[in-house]
Amino acid sequence: REGRGEEINKSERRPVLHLALRMPEGARVDVDGRDVMPEVHAVRRKVAAFAEAVRAGKVVGATGKAFKNTIVIGIGGSSLGPAFLYEAVKATDLRANMGDREVRFLANIDEVDTARAISRLDPAETLVIVTSKTFKTRETLINACTMRQWLLGGLPRP
Protein backbone atom coordinates (compact mmCIF):
# COMPACT_ATOMS: atom_id res chain seq x y z
CA ARG A 1 0.00 0.00 0.00
CA GLU A 2 2.85 2.41 0.77
CA GLY A 3 4.38 1.89 -2.67
CA ARG A 4 1.07 2.81 -4.24
CA GLY A 5 0.81 6.12 -2.35
CA GLU A 6 -2.30 5.06 -0.44
CA GLU A 7 -3.33 6.92 2.69
CA ILE A 8 -1.80 4.92 5.52
CA ASN A 9 -1.25 7.63 8.14
CA LYS A 10 -4.87 8.06 9.18
CA SER A 11 -4.16 10.65 11.89
CA GLU A 12 -2.63 13.02 9.32
CA ARG A 13 -4.78 11.81 6.41
CA ARG A 14 -1.79 11.37 4.13
CA PRO A 15 0.22 8.67 2.43
CA VAL A 16 3.40 7.36 3.98
CA LEU A 17 6.16 7.81 1.42
CA HIS A 18 9.31 6.61 3.21
CA LEU A 19 9.72 3.99 0.51
CA ALA A 20 9.75 6.67 -2.20
CA LEU A 21 12.89 8.19 -0.70
CA ARG A 22 14.75 4.93 -1.30
CA MET A 23 13.45 4.07 -4.76
CA PRO A 24 15.74 4.30 -7.79
CA GLU A 25 15.37 6.68 -10.73
CA GLY A 26 12.68 5.43 -13.06
CA ALA A 27 10.53 3.93 -10.31
CA ARG A 28 6.97 5.18 -10.04
CA VAL A 29 4.82 6.05 -7.03
CA ASP A 30 1.45 7.61 -7.70
CA VAL A 31 -0.27 9.82 -5.15
CA ASP A 32 -3.70 11.05 -6.20
CA GLY A 33 -2.94 9.98 -9.77
CA ARG A 34 0.39 11.83 -9.98
CA ASP A 35 3.86 10.24 -10.04
CA VAL A 36 5.79 11.85 -7.17
CA MET A 37 9.14 10.26 -8.01
CA PRO A 38 10.47 13.01 -10.31
CA GLU A 39 9.97 15.51 -7.47
CA VAL A 40 11.51 13.13 -4.91
CA HIS A 41 14.64 12.68 -7.02
CA ALA A 42 14.88 16.41 -7.79
CA VAL A 43 14.89 17.16 -4.05
CA ARG A 44 17.41 14.39 -3.38
CA ARG A 45 19.74 15.96 -5.98
CA LYS A 46 19.35 19.38 -4.33
CA VAL A 47 20.13 17.95 -0.89
CA ALA A 48 23.19 16.15 -2.25
CA ALA A 49 24.43 19.33 -3.96
CA PHE A 50 23.89 21.35 -0.78
CA ALA A 51 25.75 18.78 1.34
CA GLU A 52 28.66 18.75 -1.10
CA ALA A 53 28.78 22.57 -1.11
CA VAL A 54 28.89 22.59 2.71
CA ARG A 55 31.70 20.01 2.74
CA ALA A 56 33.61 21.99 0.10
CA GLY A 57 33.26 25.23 2.07
CA LYS A 58 31.21 26.90 -0.68
CA VAL A 59 28.24 27.31 1.68
CA VAL A 60 29.31 29.09 4.84
CA GLY A 61 27.71 30.64 7.91
CA ALA A 62 26.61 34.23 8.41
CA THR A 63 30.13 35.31 9.42
CA GLY A 64 31.79 33.66 6.43
CA LYS A 65 33.24 30.81 8.47
CA ALA A 66 32.94 27.27 7.14
CA PHE A 67 30.67 24.88 9.01
CA LYS A 68 32.53 22.49 11.30
CA ASN A 69 29.53 21.28 13.28
CA THR A 70 25.96 20.24 12.58
CA ILE A 71 23.03 19.98 14.95
CA VAL A 72 20.15 17.90 13.61
CA ILE A 73 16.75 18.64 15.15
CA GLY A 74 14.03 16.03 14.83
CA ILE A 75 11.55 13.98 16.81
CA GLY A 76 10.94 10.24 16.46
CA GLY A 77 11.93 8.86 13.08
CA SER A 78 13.05 12.31 11.96
CA SER A 79 15.82 12.02 14.54
CA LEU A 80 16.40 8.28 14.72
CA GLY A 81 16.90 7.78 10.98
CA PRO A 82 19.63 10.42 10.62
CA ALA A 83 21.25 9.36 13.92
CA PHE A 84 21.38 5.69 12.87
CA LEU A 85 22.82 6.65 9.49
CA TYR A 86 25.45 8.85 11.14
CA GLU A 87 26.48 6.03 13.48
CA ALA A 88 26.66 3.60 10.56
CA VAL A 89 28.85 5.98 8.52
CA LYS A 90 31.19 6.50 11.48
CA ALA A 91 31.84 2.76 11.49
CA THR A 92 33.02 2.74 7.85
CA ASP A 93 35.75 4.26 5.71
CA LEU A 94 33.26 6.99 4.77
CA ARG A 95 34.01 8.62 8.14
CA ALA A 96 37.15 10.07 6.56
CA ASN A 97 34.94 12.17 4.27
CA MET A 98 33.57 13.97 7.31
CA GLY A 99 36.94 15.34 8.36
CA ASP A 100 36.83 16.90 11.81
CA ARG A 101 33.16 17.78 11.57
CA GLU A 102 30.95 16.94 14.49
CA VAL A 103 27.26 16.00 14.26
CA ARG A 104 24.93 16.19 17.22
CA PHE A 105 21.25 15.39 17.55
CA LEU A 106 18.55 17.24 19.46
CA ALA A 107 15.51 15.01 19.79
CA ASN A 108 13.55 16.36 22.74
CA ILE A 109 12.91 19.60 24.58
CA ASP A 110 14.85 18.70 27.69
CA GLU A 111 17.11 21.60 28.70
CA VAL A 112 19.97 19.24 29.55
CA ASP A 113 19.81 17.67 26.08
CA THR A 114 19.81 21.14 24.51
CA ALA A 115 22.83 22.16 26.60
CA ARG A 116 24.63 18.96 25.60
CA ALA A 117 23.89 19.58 21.92
CA ILE A 118 25.43 23.06 21.92
CA SER A 119 28.21 22.46 24.44
CA ARG A 120 31.57 23.83 23.23
CA LEU A 121 30.21 24.66 19.77
CA ASP A 122 30.73 27.98 18.03
CA PRO A 123 27.44 29.27 16.52
CA ALA A 124 29.45 30.81 13.67
CA GLU A 125 30.63 27.34 12.65
CA THR A 126 27.43 25.39 13.32
CA LEU A 127 24.82 24.39 10.76
CA VAL A 128 21.40 23.57 12.22
CA ILE A 129 19.20 21.22 10.22
CA VAL A 130 15.55 20.67 11.08
CA THR A 131 14.12 17.34 9.92
CA SER A 132 10.37 16.84 9.94
CA LYS A 133 7.58 15.48 7.77
CA THR A 134 5.19 18.31 8.53
CA PHE A 135 7.15 20.95 10.46
CA LYS A 136 4.18 21.10 12.84
CA THR A 137 5.49 18.93 15.69
CA ARG A 138 5.53 21.08 18.82
CA GLU A 139 8.87 19.77 20.09
CA THR A 140 10.53 20.30 16.73
CA LEU A 141 9.30 23.89 16.53
CA ILE A 142 10.41 24.63 20.10
CA ASN A 143 13.87 23.21 19.42
CA ALA A 144 14.14 25.12 16.14
CA CYS A 145 13.29 28.37 17.95
CA THR A 146 15.75 27.57 20.74
CA MET A 147 18.55 26.92 18.23
CA ARG A 148 17.68 30.10 16.33
CA GLN A 149 18.02 32.10 19.56
CA TRP A 150 21.32 30.36 20.33
CA LEU A 151 22.66 31.11 16.85
CA LEU A 152 21.58 34.76 16.88
CA GLY A 153 22.83 35.26 20.42
CA GLY A 154 26.25 33.86 19.56
CA LEU A 155 26.87 35.78 16.35
CA PRO A 156 28.23 39.31 16.09
CA ARG A 157 25.66 41.99 15.33
CA PRO A 158 26.04 43.74 11.95
Mean pLDDT confidence for 122-142: 92
Cα(78)–Cα(115) distance, integer angstroms: 20
What pLDDT is recorded for position 141?
95
Highest mean predicted confidence (pLDDT) among 3-12, 23-32, 43-52:
43-52
58-115 pLDDT, tens digit per residue, is: 999 999 999 999 999 999 888 898 999 999 998 999 888 888 889 999 999 999 999 9
Q: Using one digit for the tens of pLDDT, what is the confidence trace for 87-96?
A: 999 899 988 8
Using DSSP, state whether 21 is helix, strand or coil.
helix
How confident is the model at residue 136, as a pLDDT?
84
Instruction: Enumerate long-range contacts of 132-137, CB under 8 Å, 24 or more apart.
Output: 132/74, 132/75, 132/78, 133/12, 133/78, 134/12, 137/75, 137/78
Q: Binning pLDDT at 50, 70 and 90, where does residue 11 land?
A: low
Question: Residue 9 and residue 26: Cα distance in Å, rounded?
Answer: 25
- Beta carbons within 8 Å of 120's beta carbon, 6+ residues apart: none
